[in-house]
C-alpha cells in the first residue's frame, strides 16, 4: 500500500488538501494528515468542515505539536508528502530547515530521505523572498507546484479544475493509480 503525508496550512485553497485526502482514500492510499491551526480555521471558513470532519478524511491524523509522531522519522515508510495548500510561512520554514512543528519536521524528513515533497504554494504575487524560498526547496529536491488550473481540457467547473490539479499532483507524487488527463494535442 502506498503512503502519503498530507499537510494543510492556513493559505487559501483548502479544497486542494481535502480533495487530495478524498482521492487518496478512493485510490487505496494510506494517508497521514497534519493540519495547522490556521489550516483548520481555513478549512472551516472555505468548506464548512470542522477538525473532526477533516481528520475523518485521513487514515491517521497528527497534531502539529506532536513531533514524536511516526512521520517525524525517516525510518517510517512514506512515499511522498503533499502540503496543500502551502502558506508562504510554511514554505519559508521548509526552505530553511526550520522544523519547529510536525508539519515542517515531516517535510524536512522527506528532503533528507530524498523522498517526494510537493508544495502547493498559494500566494500571489510572489515577492523575492517567496521566489528564493521556492528556489531553495527546488534545489533541495522538493517540487513547488502552484495549483494553477489547466484550461486546455476545457473544464466546465471549479470542481473539474481542482480535480484535474489533484490528479496531476498525485501522479507526480508517484501514486501509481492516479489518472491525470493527458494532453491529446490539437
Q: What are phi and psi of 33, to 5 degrees?
A: -115, 135
- Please tell me whether 87 is known to bind a ligand: yes
Residue with cell 512543528: 101
Q: Which residues of 50-85 are buried (b: 16+ CB within 10 A; e: fewer)?
A: ebeebbebbeebbebeebebebbeeeeebbbbbbbb
- Please tell me whether 135 is known to bind a ligand: no
Number of separate domains in the chain: 1
Q: For the segment 24-66, what is each residue's pLDDT rounded down to a tens digit?
A: 999 999 999 999 999 999 999 999 999 999 999 999 999 999 9
| pTM assigned to the model | 0.96
- Please tell me whether 16 is known to bind a ligand: no
Residue 96, domain member (yes or no): yes
Residue 77, domain member (yes or no): yes
Q: For the segment 156-181, what is each residue's pLDDT rounded down to a tens digit?
A: 999 999 999 999 999 999 999 999 99
Residue 157, domain member (yes or no): no
CATH number, domain at 88?
3.40.50.1950
**Paired strand residues for 86:** 121
- Please tell me whether 75 is known to bind a ligand: no
- pLDDT at 184 (0 to 100): 85
- Please tell me whether 88 is known to bind a ligand: yes
| Residue 124 exposure: Cα atoms within 13 Å on the Cβ side | 6
Amino acid at each position: 500500500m502506498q503512503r502519503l503525508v498530507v499537510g494543510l496550512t492556513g493559505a487559501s485553497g483548502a479544497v486542494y488538501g481535502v480533495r487530495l485526502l478524498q482521492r487518496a482514500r478512493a485510490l487505496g492510499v494510506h494517508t497521514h494528515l497534519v493540519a495547522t491551526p490556521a489550516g483548520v480555521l481555513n478549512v472551516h471558513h472555505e468548506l464548512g468542515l470542522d477538525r473532526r470532519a477533516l481528520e475523518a478524511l485521513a487514515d491517521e491524523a497528527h497534531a502539529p505539536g506532536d513531533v514524536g509522531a511516526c512521520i517525524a522519522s525517516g525510518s517510517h515508510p512514506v512515499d511522498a508528502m503533499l502540503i496543500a495548500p502551502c502558506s508562504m510561512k510554511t514554505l519559508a520554514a521548509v526552505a530553511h530547515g526550520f522544523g519547529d512543528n510536525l508539519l515542517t519536521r515531516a517535510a524536512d524528513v522527506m528532503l533528507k530521505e530524498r523522498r517526494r515533497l510537493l508544495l502547493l504554494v498559494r500566494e500571489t504575487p510572489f515577492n523575492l523572498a517567496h521566489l528564493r524560498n521556492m528556489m531553495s526547496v527546488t534545489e533541495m529536491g522538493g517540487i513547488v507546484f502552484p495549483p494553477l488550473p489547466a484550461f486546455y481540457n476545457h473544464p466546465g467547473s471549479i470542481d473539474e479544475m481542482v480535480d484535474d490539479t489533484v490528479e496531476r499532483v498525485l501522479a507526480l507524487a508517484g501514486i501509481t493509480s492516479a489518472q491525470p488527463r493527458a494532453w491529446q494535442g490539437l
